[in-house]
Each structure stands twice: as structure tokens, then as C-alpha cells.
Amino acid sequence: MNATKLSPAEILRNAGRANAMGSDLLKVGLSVGALGVAGAALGAVCPACVVATPALLGFGLLQKLRGFFLKRRARAPAVG
């Protein structure tokens, strides 16, 4: 596998993008979840909300973790 060598600045830029995307996905997931709870309180269950909420929250969390680990990798000392 041929991995490209990224500079620490590029890694930090990618980490920032991943972190921002993760935050956005978490906000959307919480919004869809709140909409689903409000609908359930009124007696209607939204099947899309039941599927989308955990998917958005999970993917958002993965993006936040990716951003965290990329930022950590950019700050690690270069080896070899």
C-alpha cells in the first residue's frame, strides 16, 4: 500500500474538517432524535427517525474520534 506523506499542517487541516463534520452530524442527529421523541409523544412513530438518529450520532462520533486521532498524529514527533 502506497501511503502519501502529509505534512503536519495538512493533517491538522483534515483533523479540523473531520471535527467540524462530526459536530454537524451530532447536531443533526440530536435534532432528528428530538423530532422523533416529539412525534412519539404525540402518538406517531417516525421510522426514518428511528433509523437516522443512531446512524447520524454514530457517524458523528466516529468523525469526532477521527479528528482527535488525526490531531494527535500531527502533534506526534516524526519517527524515521
Per-residue pLDDT tens over the stretch 44-77: 988 888 999 999 999 999 999 999 998 988 887 7
* pLDDT number for residue 79: 65
Grouping H, G, I as helix, E, B as strand and the rest as coil, residue 78 is: coil
pLDDT for 78? 66
Measured between alpha carbons, how far is 52 from 2 in angstroms, rounded to an integer?
35
Largest CA distance in the chain: 61
What pTM value is reported for the model?
Answer: 0.82
Listed by start position, the domains of the chain span 9-16+29-74
pLDDT at 80: 57
8 or 13: which leads in pLDDT:
13
